[in-house]
Homo-oligomer: A and B are copies of this chain.
C-alpha cells in the first residue's frame, strides 16, 4: 500500500491540505446543489438540511456501506456534517443571487466530481479490493450523492441525462489507476487527474457533449 494513498484517503490536513481544501469546497458545492433541489420541491428548512447532507455525504456513505468500510467517514468528522448543513441553510438565503454565480458553481461542482472520484478509488485501494471495484467505488462516490438527491426529490436522476458527468468520473478513475500502475507519484497523479478531469467536464458543458441517448417507448403486451 502506498502511504500517499493512505494519506489521500484519510485526508489529514498535512501535506494533503490542498486535497482537503478541494474536498471541503466540493462537499459545500454539493450541499448547495442539494439545497436548491429541495427548494424546487418547496421543502422546509429541515428538508433542505437533510437533502444537503445526503447530496454532499451520501455518496461516500453508500460507498462505505457497499465496501463494508466502518465507521463511515463523516461519523468521525463533525466538521464535515456542520459544514454541509450550514452550506445548505445559507443557500436558502442567497439562492436568488446564485444564478449569477452559475459558472463558478459549475467549476466547483466539477472539482467535487473529480475529488470524490479520486477519494472513492483510494478508499477501495486501501481495503485491497480488486481494480474493477476500485473504479466502481470511485464512480459511486462521485455520482451517487446526486442520485440520492434526485430520488429523494422524486425525479429521474439528471446525472444520466445531461452533459458528460458520470463519464468524467469513470475517465478520472481509469486515468488515476493507469498512472498509478506506471508508478507516477501520487501528487503528480492527482494533479493530472484534476486538470484533465475538470477540463473534460468544462468542455462537455461548453460544447454540450452528451453520450448517445437510448430512447425506448415501446410497450409490450
Contacts and interface: CB of A to CB of B under 8 A. Distances in A.
Interface of A: 35-36, 38-48, 50-51, 61, 65-68, 70-72, 75-76, 78, 81-82, 92, 95-96, 99, 102, 129-130, 132-133, 136, 147, 151-157, 159-161, 166-167, 170, 210-218, 220-221
Contacts of A156: 41, 43, 152-154
Contact of A211 (B45, B61, B167, B213): B45
25 contacts: A35-B214, A36-B216, A38-B160, A43-B161, A44-B212, A44-B213, A44-B214, A45-B214, A46-B166, A46-B167, A46-B170, A47-B160, A66-B72, A67-B70, A67-B75, A68-B68, A68-B70, A68-B71, A75-B129, A75-B133, A76-B130, A78-B132, A92-B214, A92-B216, A152-B156
A151 B151 contact: yes
A218 B151 contact: no
A1 to B, nearest CB: 17
Q: Across chains A and B, which 8 residue pairs bring their CB atoms closest together, nearest first?
A: A47-B160, A39-B216, A68-B70, A44-B211, A43-B160, A92-B214, A39-B214, A46-B166
Contacts of A99: 218, 220
| Total copies of the chain | 3
A166 B221 CA distance: 20
Chain A contact residues: helix, strand, loop or mixed: helix
Contacts of A96: 218
Given A68-B71, A70-B68, A217 B46 contact: no
